[in-house]
Structure 1
Amino acid sequence: MSDYKPLSDYGIIGNLETCALVGRDGAIDWCCLPRLNSSSVFAALLDDEIGGRFAIYPTDEYEAEQQYMERTNVLQTTFHTESGTARVTDFMPLSPDNEGNQPKVRGIYRNVSCTEGDVDLAVEFDPRFDYARADSRVESISDGVVASGDARRLTLSSPLDLDCSDSAADGTLSLSEYDNEWFVLEYGTRAPTDDDSCEHLLDNTVEFWRDWAHTCPDGEDCPFADYGHDMVVRSDLTLKLLTYQGTGGITAAPTTSLPEVVGGVRNWDYRYNWIRDGAFTVRAFGNLGDTQEAVNYLDDFLELGQSVDPADLQPIYGLQHGSTYEEQELDHLEGYRNSAPVRIGNGAADQLQLGIYGELVLAINQLSWSDRSIAGDDWEAVREIVDYVCEVWERPDAGIWEMRSGPKQFVHSKAMCWVAVDRGIRMAENDGHDAPLDEWRDERSRIKETVLERGFDDDQNSFTQAFDDDQLDASLLLLPLSGFLPFDDPRIQGTIESVIDRLATDDGLVYRYEHDEMPGDEGTFVLCSFWLVDCLARMGRVDRAREIFETIEDHFSPLGLVSEEIDPETGDLLGNYPQAFSHIGFVNSALFLHEAETDTEIQPFGHRSV
């Protein structure tokens, strides 16, 4: 086996409870069981020596390629050797009649087949429970091996007798043309392992994904047709894959501690659901025609808004709300490509991030454009949030990027407070909801006046990261996108030009900000680059917007997956992978470009300024 692979060499499979990353070399290098936020069983992604993996690959030299079965999350890895060709098909079962329930069968299914000649495949099963902290033991049973550790038990059904050491098992499987065998890793409950049942589960899983995936409208031109259509479909499937079916929440990424720059310390656990992502997520699902997914996603946060005081809302939540957020460093793991520390948990849960209230109300307002009515307890939750924002908007906070250097008066946070009040007013006016409209209108004016006075630097002709500051921040691109000011306002145009001059590469890839107080560097931020595409498209600079869009698209993996950041020098993917926020940005930017180039309006995002 090789050392650390580029992130672009990984595909992802899952079952709406957890996910696994499968390398182009046939190795499952990351998987947490039974849920995405459980501790890992395979973590070679974070320590190639001790992390653990489940690998199937040719014993001879080979070339490999990966692809998904069309419009599914069923992954196929094909190995070409001098003697023949073999394929590994990986999936986690789902049923087409799932209807919002948890998976009926829990397991990782790996089908191996020989499509030409003869191939010998090495099989390495090396589970390391609890991030390789627990004692792991692997023992032979009649039809495979059983692994135990950390009060968990896995059973691997195998077509060959595997040789067991104390903590691992291995063997060699010889295949001739047309041979077809199954490895089934069971956890939690007993899963069917006979060939007919395995084939049936594969067919059901393919049907599930194809029934769910984006379908072009009947009798109409698909708005994504000329805007990376296949990768839009892949983004749609990836977002669904990152959805936890129990709550409708979407994890930011299925991984932890993949570095924002190789060798750096900006390594965070992203296996959480961020309120901050809400408006963009609802909009992406709406653009894809997945209204029910948007409703399910937002209902989880609406229920939170009804059950807790707005002051007690956290910026992030676990896939189960009782999750652990305390940050820990796992010093025994060396980190991806020696990028330590490896962290689990996320201390951002305790931060004050005022922007989340604007994002949440904006998402609710967008959802009200669909058939989902906002009334009763839902409206009471919105009203309490807007009232709370009117009380606290002047406080400093940690900002959208969750700064750990102390609170500031971030301009983006203040603008999102304005959005919370503005959209609350719009919903009350449009739908006749009871609200203190005069007070809200006065507070809306106060917020805007303060931002314009203290957040704009005349000398730079740009808004700044924080009040009375001279630093620039890509989140300022959201001011026109959220309707705080129109795109033709000179202050907005000056800000966009400043972002291009000071935060963007020649190719249009955008850094989040000029600097912060964390040590080390980071890559360009994929979502910020898409925000620049959106702004340029809305300003009428469509050719440049299209160029940047296609540049970002070129950095996606061969499977159509993308991480949080991109190294502008090497093109390497950086940060947790795949990243929901980045895929959301791709979908939304594709629609912005379509609207700009066809002079149509599809998405009710609300650019009107007050």
Structure 2
Amino acid sequence: MPTPLNQTVAASALLMKSLPLGLLRTFVQSNADQGITPELLAELRVLSRVPGLLVACNYGGTLCSAEGVSTETLPLDSAAVALRALAALPNTHTAVISGRSLRDLAAVSRLPAEVHLVGSHGVEFDMGYAYNQSLATDALLQEVVTALTEAVAFEKGIRIMRKPVGVGVHTRPATPEVRERVIYRAQQIAMEFGLFFIVDGTVLDLTVEEPAKGRALEQLRASLGVSAALYAGDAESDEKALATLRGPDLGLHVGPGNTTAAHTIPDPEAFARVLALLFEMRRAWLFGEDAVGLERHSMIGNGSSTALLTPDAKICWMSHPLPDSGSLFAHILGGDPAGHFSIEPVKTSPVLAQRYVDNTMIVETRWADVTVTDYLEPAPEGITSLVRVLSGTGTARVVFAPRPDYANAPFSMEIRDGEVHVVGTSDPIILSAPGVTFRVTSDGRHATAMADVPLYGGPVVLNLRCGDTEPPPADPYGEPHRRAAVGQVAREWVKTLQLPSMKPSLVRRSALVLKSLVHEPTGAVLAAPTTSLPEGIGGTRNWDYRYCWLRDGSMTVNALVSLGSTREADGFLSWLGRILENAPGPEWLHPLYSVTGAPLSTEAIVESLPGYAGSRPVRIGNAADHQVQLDVFGPIAELIHDLAERRGFMPDEHWFLMEQMAHAVIARWHEPDHGIWEARRAPRHHVYTKVMCWVTLDRAVRAAALHGREAHADWAPTAVTIREQVLHEGWDNSAASYTVAYDSPDLDAAVLHIGLSGLLDVQDQRFLDTVTAVERDLRVGPTVFRYRYDDGLPGLEGGFHICTTWLIEAYLAVGRLDDALELFNQLVALFGPTGLLPEEYDPSTETHLGNHPQAYSHLGFIRCAQLLDHYLARADVE
């Protein structure tokens, strides 16, 4: 009868999605006596999350119970199905390395082509091997067959079989006495003919080639490019393969007998269960069933460093010392092997709540008997100070597993005077935890510190300091005083904000997020604190956003200016001024820079990380640095204009920057570029870019008039020229809309700025038609897509929250208040439980996508809340 596992998998056309997640619990509960121990489960979990995996095993005695050549030796149904299912997963390979000839192995096993087969103890990789033996080898083996036939063939239960590189003697039906005699005589014959002799279960092999299961496993690893392997076997020959395992590899011995494998399971049935467990774990990781929703992560920050927490208080992302430095914890991109700092109650219980404390970036996570309070405290430049306070009545389990430089840097740990010191890294990393006794374990490359911490005696403080060998100055009032000081700074800043009455708590949280993305030591602004969180699960649109785009940075600090906070804008414009001092001219500005003002290094891929929910590759750096994006001058000019308008004056250094932006537009506005969305294709005349070039000159002329400055003679005429060209060339009759680029019918949500910027009157029929076209073709439920055209990149993406906010703004501009309110409320419903938004949303799968939290998303939301406040107030008056 088919097993339940077999029935489940066979019922689905897609093997990789066919096993229910409940099987994991079922196997654990019902098969503890089958050798599937908690330790084995833990190692399987680690193995399931490696970037590339090879699952290899012996055949007889491992995949099936019997030896011989009959149909009894078919693999167990459940084992065959699980092997095939594993092979169907991305970056996952399976193989059988058997003592049988390759022809016999393929005929008897009936395993599909997805499973790599290697015969003759690891020697025979292809069918042609058997036909390439020399005549001398063939004659030698024929002599061996004759000798064996004369010596042992008369014994009951003995069968002799010729193989491509040897002769096999099958002894399974024979009695122990007969088998002992046959082994002795066969070994003598092997010595007489100079052959290798091996006992492989109930088969004796005399071969001209040395058994090479270890070399075969290594060859498979190299050719398939895997990063870890599982090998299972039951025979003496399998020990050679087991001996090659290292690092996260896992070895299993099936059945009785001595072995070097770390784990022993009783029989092939148990191995089939292991395969099913591994499949379920790996599929869950690769396809996101084990990945925490992006919107459910909370961010802490202190103006120079940021970190992300899962809903159960796991630090899953943090870099040091700069935002774009190598990660210390990258769990969000690679699970436990990529590094994490976890705290949970020893007594298992669900998380009751996670929240931000008042108007701060302090996060509190609460269980029934344990509470964790997390924050990053201010520290000198180059130092990261993470504080984790444990309180409650229970016992907390702490797991400190740093994995520097995207888990690529080896290190060790030492306990010194009660502190955990990470040794071997470029910067000192010290975890102090007075009263906590840690135990350190190591896998040979990476160390982990763990401790169970009883809390009934009062709160326990963990302080992780990176880049500092000296402890912070002692605070006579203790940690509560430090925490209060951190919270007070945030609350005092929030009091200065002019918040709209529309969703003020979410606007307040969005403002705090934007402020946390400002790198105070330099004034630069991050687009997001993360890298490679996918725009499509399983796709390749995974970008590094830990940099300062001139466009994004300008829009971020301008959103804060609109709320009444101008310090961030001053810092950003000073940062930009320093960049211009070293640039050949403003027209040659890069689209983005490191927070230090340095150009980016080459975009690279971290091969060792599997990515969020298996979305590869994980990228470091951003190739958009080398693109031409001529729209960036517009948001900068608008920021300078709006900042001066709020203050009522414009300092000389800001006017100089305005002149520089206008100069850049005069020099290059007529050129094609790569546009706001950084499509990796040839430059075009993008409508949004031309609109932003007009905005630059328009705001420069306005600012000159308002603040007694002299506008350059060519600014106004060039602005008129750009406007006339955009209005004529940007319109497409077939689309009945303004489109992405000249001579293109493709829609782009960014062209809404043709009206939102003031270039075209919002009541002009052409703008009304453009709003209708974007709504019709790009809006799907609560989200708006950037575009639908081919951008030169594979895969799909979600709708962009900032595009949604542009459509809300457009609805308001054309008088569609009810539509604006409806879409705004749908956007509000997409916020995460602690008030954060990533970059995108896929309405078809209801999945949040992209780097998190995203400045664009939060600044767009703030703008919409402010505008709705204005329009609703005006409607009440009317």
TM-score between both structures, scaled by the size of structure 2: 0.64
- Residue 448 (structure 2) pairs with residue 169 (structure 1): yes
- Residue 488 (structure 2) pairs with residue 200 (structure 1): no
CA separation of 1:360/1:194 partners in 2, compared to 1, >3 Å: closer, same or farther? closer
Deviations 1:240-282 (A, max 9, x none): 1111111222101110000001101111110011111245324
- Residue 807 (structure 2) pairs with residue 555 (structure 1): no
CA separation of 1:163/1:28 partners in 2, compared to 1, >3 Å: closer, same or farther? same
Residue in 2 aligned with 1:56?
Answer: 343
> Structure 2: how far apart are the matches of 1:451 and 1:323?
32
Instruction: Determine helix, strand or coil for the equivalent of 1:301.
Output: helix
Instruction: Determine helix, strand or coil for the equivalent of 1:63.
Output: coil
- Residue 294 (structure 2) pairs with residue 7 (structure 1): yes
CA separation of 1:213/1:267 partners in 2, compared to 1, >3 Å: closer, same or farther? same
- Residue 371 (structure 2) pairs with residue 87 (structure 1): yes
Q: Which moved more, 1:56-65 or 1:277-286?
A: 277-286
CA separation of 1:533/1:214 partners in 2, compared to 1, >3 Å: closer, same or farther? farther
Instruction: Determine helix, strand or coil for the equivalent of 1:358.
Output: helix
Residue in 2 aligned with 1:22?
Answer: 309
Contact 1:127 1:136 in 2 (8 A): no
Residue in 2 aligned with 1:213?
Answer: 494
Contact 2:439 2:449 in 1 (8 A): yes
The one-letter amino acid paired with 1:186 is R
Counterparts of residues 91-490 of structure 1 (less than 5 Å): 91-94=375-378, 102=380, 106-114=384-392, 118-158=393-433, 159-166=435-442, 167-175=446-454, 177=456, 179-189=458-468, 190-192=470-472, 196-215=477-496, 224-225=500-501, 227-305=502-580, 307-308=582-583, 309-322=585-598, 324-371=600-647, 373-437=649-713, 439-490=714-765
Q: Which moved more, 1:559-568 or 1:382-391?
A: 382-391
> Structure 2: how far apart are the matches of 1:305 and 1:375?
17
> Structure 2: how far apart are the matches of 1:209 and 1:18?
15
Contact 1:42 1:127 in 2 (8 A): yes
- Residue 779 (structure 2) pairs with residue 491 (structure 1): no
Cα drift, residue 434 of structure 1:
2.9
Cα drift, residue 121 of structure 1:
1.9
Contact 1:28 1:42 in 2 (8 A): yes
Residue in 2 aligned with 1:99?
Answer: none
> Structure 2: how far apart are the matches of 1:187 and 1:416?
42
The one-letter amino acid paired with 2:386 is I
> Structure 2: how far apart are the matches of 1:394 and 1:44?
46
> Structure 1: how far apart are the matches of 2:837 and 2:716?
41
> Structure 2: how far apart are the matches of 1:444 and 1:287?
26
The one-letter amino acid paired with 1:20 is A
> Structure 1: how far apart are the matches of 2:752 and 2:424?
48
> Structure 2: how far apart are the matches of 1:415 and 1:318?
27
> Structure 2: how far apart are the matches of 1:191 and 1:108?
13
> Structure 2: how far apart are the matches of 1:378 and 1:9?
40
Matched length: 580
CA separation of 1:600/1:106 partners in 2, compared to 1, >3 Å: closer, same or farther? farther
Contact 2:526 2:553 in 1 (8 A): no
Cα drift, residue 370 of structure 1:
2.4
- Residue 67 (structure 2) pairs with residue 67 (structure 1): no
Contact 1:90 1:109 in 2 (8 A): yes
Residue in 1 aligned with 2:365?
Answer: 77
> Structure 2: how far apart are the matches of 1:322 and 1:378?
22
Contact 1:162 1:169 in 2 (8 A): no
CA separation of 1:169/1:586 partners in 2, compared to 1, >3 Å: closer, same or farther? same
The one-letter amino acid paired with 2:779 is A
Contact 1:94 1:104 in 2 (8 A): no
Residue in 2 aligned with 1:575?
Answer: 850
CA separation of 1:474/1:408 partners in 2, compared to 1, >3 Å: closer, same or farther? same
Residue in 1 aligned with 2:121?
Answer: none
Deviations 1:190-248 (A, max 9, x none): 3348894322211111111111124566xxxx5x22x2111111111111111111122
> Structure 2: how far apart are the matches of 1:253 and 1:538?
29
> Structure 2: how far apart are the matches of 1:405 and 1:433?
40
Q: Which moved more, 1:194-203 or 1:488-497?
A: 194-203
Contact 1:94 1:208 in 2 (8 A): no
Residue in 2 aligned with 1:538?
Answer: 813
Percent identical residues: 34
Cα drift, residue 177 of structure 1:
4.5
CA separation of 1:340/1:214 partners in 2, compared to 1, >3 Å: closer, same or farther? farther
The one-letter amino acid paired with 1:314 is H
- Structure 2: 5+ residue stretches without partners: 1-44, 46-284
Deviations 1:271-304 (A, max 9, x none): 0111112453243112211122222223322443
> Structure 2: how far apart are the matches of 1:323 and 1:197?
42
Contact 2:346 2:452 in 1 (8 A): no
> Structure 1: how far apart are the matches of 2:707 and 2:457?
64
Instruction: Determine helix, strand or coil for the equivalent of 2:665.
Output: helix
Deviations 1:96-134 (A, max 9, x none): xxxxxx5798411111011xxx42322111111111111
CA separation of 1:187/1:320 partners in 2, compared to 1, >3 Å: closer, same or farther? same
Contact 2:295 2:848 in 1 (8 A): yes
Cα drift, residue 391 of structure 1:
2.7
The one-letter amino acid paired with 1:513 is Y
CA separation of 1:172/1:453 partners in 2, compared to 1, >3 Å: closer, same or farther? same
CA separation of 1:133/1:171 partners in 2, compared to 1, >3 Å: closer, same or farther? closer
> Structure 2: how far apart are the matches of 1:38 and 1:380?
33
- Structure 1: 5+ residue stretches without partners: 96-101, 602-610
CA RMSD of aligned residues (A): 2.2
CA separation of 1:195/1:557 partners in 2, compared to 1, >3 Å: closer, same or farther? farther
> Structure 1: how far apart are the matches of 2:593 and 2:387?
30
Cα drift, residue 594 of structure 1:
0.7
Contact 1:106 1:191 in 2 (8 A): no
CA separation of 1:323/1:375 partners in 2, compared to 1, >3 Å: closer, same or farther? same
Residue in 2 aligned with 1:584?
Answer: 859
CA separation of 1:19/1:160 partners in 2, compared to 1, >3 Å: closer, same or farther? same
Contact 1:555 1:571 in 2 (8 A): no
> Structure 1: how far apart are the matches of 2:364 and 2:648?
38
Q: Which moved more, 1:335-344 or 1:453-462?
A: 453-462
> Structure 1: how far apart are the matches of 2:651 and 2:436?
60
CA separation of 1:511/1:144 partners in 2, compared to 1, >3 Å: closer, same or farther? same
Instruction: Determine helix, strand or coil for the equivalent of 1:591.
Output: helix
Cα drift, residue 51 of structure 1:
0.7
* Structure with the larger RCO, 1 or 2 (CA within 8 Å, 6+ apart): 1
Q: Which moved more, 1:67-76 or 1:364-373?
A: 364-373
Q: Which moved more, 1:289-298 or 1:590-599?
A: 289-298
TM-score between both structures, scaled by the size of structure 1: 0.91
Contact 1:412 1:475 in 2 (8 A): yes
Q: Which moved more, 1:261-270 or 1:133-142?
A: 133-142
Contact 2:535 2:797 in 1 (8 A): yes
Contact 2:736 2:770 in 1 (8 A): yes
> Structure 2: how far apart are the matches of 1:291 and 1:467?
37
